[in-house]
């Protein structure tokens, strides 16, 4: 351990070596609304650590109390990235808001010279010196239920659900009845979804994912995960019994994160992805979830469906970099 300002001490452990009391303290820290995302949970970190090497957890203590958690993934000695790399849509240190801390001292305390990030919480001022690009995640507030959400959209002059209902009537008239399943534990169908997604990326000229063993393993292990504060949700929209849109996401105990989604291009004119999203929003509240986070990238559908945004930033935190690092 190493002493730091504010009488904070640090230690680093692999996720498999965390005590029950440390996990319990971590979960208490994520009870703060700021850390509602499943990416901040111990379940997510442990899931990734079961698929890749190099995942570590920095623990911040004041005396015997755990006051902060900082998971990271080593990519070289003293250099790290967020846990899960490009799959991690929320990043940062999970810290008691009453604790004063500094990013440079945190890096030093956990033995890092550099931490690259691209979805760090912009409202954590400790990282502000290192911000190079600012962005937002688009999110849907469902804390008052679906009808209140739809009323909020109407007040904002947006009517995406009306358009979705028109598409539903069209596809059911021309093709067949729709059915929606918020979660299925179907590994064979998950493989189909990953194949569709890879083909979609190839058509778009993007570098695909799910080409390495650990990436596919991550998705399948997520499908099997169902903890009180973290789990996977594999959602399927069918038409006449045939899957036409699928989504694999994750949840905390109160937030559903929209993650990997794809639809059958044969049905593109019916907007099956948007029909599925509308059904996810409709079902979320009854599943005990109070928010659906759509992630970064300012796609038009996110602008139409969202109720609020969450500021995020990307950059490189460098030990001893100070203000100059972000310039």
How many C-beta atoms surround the C-beta of residue 161 within 10 A? 19
Architecture of domain 2-135+312-326: 3-Layer(aba) Sandwich (3.40)
DSSP annotation string for 149-163:
HHHHHHHTT--HHHH
Helix (H) or strand (E) holding 83: none
- Which CATH fold would you assign to the domain 143-289? Aminopeptidase (3.40.630)
Q: How big is the CA angle at 221 (ends 212 and 253), to the nearest 5 degrees?
A: 130
Residues 54-102 have pLDDT tens digits of 999 999 999 999 999 999 999 999 999 999 999 999 999 999 999 999 9
How many C-beta atoms surround the C-beta of residue 274 within 10 A? 20
How many C-beta atoms surround the C-beta of residue 254 within 10 A? 19
Among residues 293, 241, 282, 237, the alpha carbon closest in space to that of 263 is found at 237
Domain ranges of the chain: 2-135+312-326, 143-289
Token duo for residue 266: 């044969």
Q: Kindly give the pairing relationship between strand 308-318 and strand 131-141.
A: antiparallel
| Cα 46 to Cα 57: distance, rounded to the nearest angstrom | 10
Token duo for residue 195: 């194949």
Cβ atoms of 56 and 71 closer than 8 Å: yes
| pLDDT per residue rounded down to tens, the chain (327 residues) | 444 455 899 999 999 999 999 999 999 999 999 999 999 999 999 999 999 999 999 999 999 999 999 999 999 999 999 999 999 999 999 999 999 999 999 999 999 999 999 999 999 999 999 999 999 999 999 999 999 999 999 999 999 999 999 999 999 999 999 999 999 999 999 999 999 998 888 777 776 677 788 999 999 999 999 999 999 999 999 999 999 999 999 999 999 999 999 999 999 999 999 999 999 999 999 999 999 999 999 999 999 999 999 999 999 999 976 543 333
């Amino acid at each position: 351990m190493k002493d730091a300002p504010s009488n904070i001490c640090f230690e680093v452990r692999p996720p498999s070596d965390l005590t029950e009391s440390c996990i319990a303290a971590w979960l208490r820290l994520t009870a703060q609304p700021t850390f509602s995302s499943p990416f901040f949970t111990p379940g997510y970190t442990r899931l990734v650590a079961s698929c890749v090497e190099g995942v570590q957890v920095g623990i911040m203590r004041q005396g015997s109390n755990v006051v902060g958690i900082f998971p990271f993934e080593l990519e070289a000695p003293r250099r790290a990235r967020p846990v899960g790399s490009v799959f991690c849509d929320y990043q940062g240190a999970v810290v008691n808001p009453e604790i004063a801390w500094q990013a440079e001292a945190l890096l030093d305390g956990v033995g890092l010279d550099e931490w690259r990030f691209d979805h760090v919480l912009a409202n954590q001022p400790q990282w502000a010196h290192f911000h190079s690009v600012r962005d937002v995640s688009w999110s849907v507030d469902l804390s008052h239920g679906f009808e209140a959400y739809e009323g909020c959209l109407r007040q904002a002059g947006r009517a995406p659900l009306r358009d979705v209902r028109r598409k539903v009537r069209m596809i059911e008239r021309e093709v067949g009845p729709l059915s929606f399943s918020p979660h299925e534990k179907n590994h064979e169908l998950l493989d189909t979804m990953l194949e569709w997604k890879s083909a979609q990326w190839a058509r778009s000229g993007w570098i695909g994912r799910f080409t390495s063993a650990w990436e596919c393993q991550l998705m399948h292990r997520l499908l099997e995960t169902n903890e009180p504060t973290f789990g996977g949700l594999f959602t399927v929209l069918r038409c006449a019994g045939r899957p036409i849109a699928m989504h694999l996401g994750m949840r905390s105990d109160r937030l559903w994160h929209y993650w990997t989604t794809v639809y059958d291009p044969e049905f593109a004119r019916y907007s099956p992805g948007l029909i599925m999203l509308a059904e996810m929003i409709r079902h979320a509240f009854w599943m005990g979830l109070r928010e659906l986070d759509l992630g970064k990238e300012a796609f038009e559908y996110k602008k139409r469906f969202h109720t609020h945004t969450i500021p995020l930033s990307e950059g490189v935190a460098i030990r001893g970099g100070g203000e100059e690092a972000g310039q």
